[in-house]
Structure 1
């Protein structure tokens, strides 16, 4: 059972988890953990499932997924019958007015839908993955020069559930450098897995890039893959001019994570998000929602 904070209702809710019984068994039993290490975390497993999700046959999964996990299709560009495969549905685009955001230059917005943790004044060698489990930014991106810019800065973790809109966006105007790819495993990014796999973010396949923003200095974007995520696809053009809210990329099937690092004293994260993080609870966030200020 995963409890998160709904900041709009100011109350806690229980997350609807796709494949919850499977996840609990894999990450909590001896047999499941052995199977995880032998097969499930491997690229081949996620690639094969990803290929299936690209086929016409996988369309049969869409109806049950929508009903079981309460997906709001009124916000989606396509109708349910227009999707060519499950991945076509999973990477769905939303209508232009579905995720409004402020153009105010001092407002920090969320890059994605998801469940959010916020850590301020970070120690680069001990960044919180989940309460009690830490990792190093140097290990996460394998680039000491870039990592060193974020000493004492802010780390924002956005966990995208399979039920979420799976495209991620830029949070300011600016220019983004090319994306750097790091090969790795394909563990789940569900809290069940985060508690069991030390430095999971540093183990999984990931990509990172530096975004030179107009109002929040240099922002480090890190996209982390997960079990059954066939691909992390970047849709922006490196070096081109970017507007706040523009799409950066998307994940194919599976729960995934976007991690953002801000330099020291660049932004102040909203108090309710920081307080819930300190209590060990993620806050539910939508793309474009205000999460802080300059």
Structure 2
């Protein structure tokens, strides 16, 4: 299995080489990994311990190698490599003002690979096997699930080399965060191809409802994953925000942002829908229009 995606800016098909690719294959494509290792890796203490290690001053020694191996563009970062005090300090780095353009319509909340489904029930045609995906299970709230059940679903996957702060995709007023306890399975395609429902309905996750003046409610749900030390919110609930304002950030690890929109409130961009139909993610950056 290769992780391939479309780079929206160039239109090119690219292959992702995630850090620890061999270990991910062992975990999710090997019977030994599935039976013996996943029960250990998915537990909170494993990610918490690793997160604490990445907060220690000595972890700065990992930064230069990480940047070089994953070809991270540090020209976009607010600070230089030498200015970070730990690996997590670097991992949750801010970008310079102006390096991302906030476009019209619904924008991507972060940098990453995007899948989009006009109707939530279409996700089952993509890669769900076995257990069916239910919004009620994902949200742990039957009434809220009914509100979005005929709407659209967008999944933005952040790889470890991506910018790991996330932003509001539209103008509005955000609610307080609702937290849902869970595990820490990987959000890599190696894990999702056979475990989509398991990952999204069992992983630690949280959400807020963004009330917009013209396009109904948008549910924004950061989802934790293996090696994610913490999900940190940086916004103030129940105050007006502008599209592109920071909502929060992830500490070390790959992560995901799930967006739910109400029926007929947005039209997802055709290129993203086409790529998803062809079973390809689309690489987008924070501020790029993803629907109008």
- Normalising by the residue count of structure 1, what TM-score does the alignment of the two structures yield? 0.94
| Residues 49-97 of structure 1 deviation map (CA, whole Å, 9 limit, x = unaligned) | 0000000111111011000000000000011000000000000000011
- For residue 117 of structure 2, what is the aligned residue in structure 1? 119
Verify the 8 A CA contact 1:172 1:215 in the aligned structure 2. no
Measured after TM superposition, the shift of residue 16 of structure 1 is 2.7
Verify the 8 A CA contact 1:220 1:261 in the aligned structure 2. yes
- For residue 260 of structure 1, what is the aligned residue in structure 2? 259
Measured after TM superposition, the shift of residue 165 of structure 1 is 0.4
- For residue 201 of structure 1, what is the aligned residue in structure 2? 200
Measured after TM superposition, the shift of residue 130 of structure 1 is 4.8
Measured after TM superposition, the shift of residue 193 of structure 1 is 0.5
Distance (whole Å) between structure 2 residues aligned to residue 46 and residue 174 of structure 1: 33
Matched, 1:131 2:127: yes
Verify the 8 A CA contact 1:73 1:79 in the aligned structure 2. yes
Verify the 8 A CA contact 1:2 1:15 in the aligned structure 2. yes
- For residue 65 of structure 2, what is the aligned residue in structure 1? 64
Q: Secondary structure at the match of 1:115?
A: strand
- For residue 92 of structure 1, what is the aligned residue in structure 2? 93
Of 214-223 and 50-59, more deviation after overlay is shown by 214-223
- Normalising by the residue count of structure 2, what TM-score does the alignment of the two structures yield? 0.95
- For residue 220 of structure 2, what is the aligned residue in structure 1? 221
Measured after TM superposition, the shift of residue 153 of structure 1 is 0.9
Q: Secondary structure at the match of 2:235?
A: coil
Distance (whole Å) between structure 2 residues aligned to residue 164 and residue 49 of structure 1: 19
Q: Secondary structure at the match of 2:64?
A: helix
Distance (whole Å) between structure 2 residues aligned to residue 83 and residue 170 of structure 1: 26
- For residue 271 of structure 1, what is the aligned residue in structure 2? 270
Cα 1:186/1:48, change in 2 over 3 Å: same
Measured after TM superposition, the shift of residue 152 of structure 1 is 1.8
Verify the 8 A CA contact 1:232 1:251 in the aligned structure 2. yes
Distance (whole Å) between structure 1 residues aligned to residue 125 and residue 40 of structure 2: 24
What residue ranges of structure 1 are gaps of 5+ in the alignment?
none
Of 83-92 and 126-135, more deviation after overlay is shown by 126-135
Measured after TM superposition, the shift of residue 6 of structure 1 is 1.2
Q: Which has the higher strand share?
A: 1
- For residue 140 of structure 2, what is the aligned residue in structure 1? 142
Measured after TM superposition, the shift of residue 35 of structure 1 is 3.3
Measured after TM superposition, the shift of residue 169 of structure 1 is 0.5
Verify the 8 A CA contact 1:129 1:194 in the aligned structure 2. no
1:152-163 to 2 correspondences below 5 Å: 152-163=150-161
| Residues 221-256 of structure 1 deviation map (CA, whole Å, 9 limit, x = unaligned) | 111100000111111111111111100111110000
| Residues 112-139 of structure 1 deviation map (CA, whole Å, 9 limit, x = unaligned) | 110000001223xx74495234511110
Verify the 8 A CA contact 1:209 1:220 in the aligned structure 2. yes
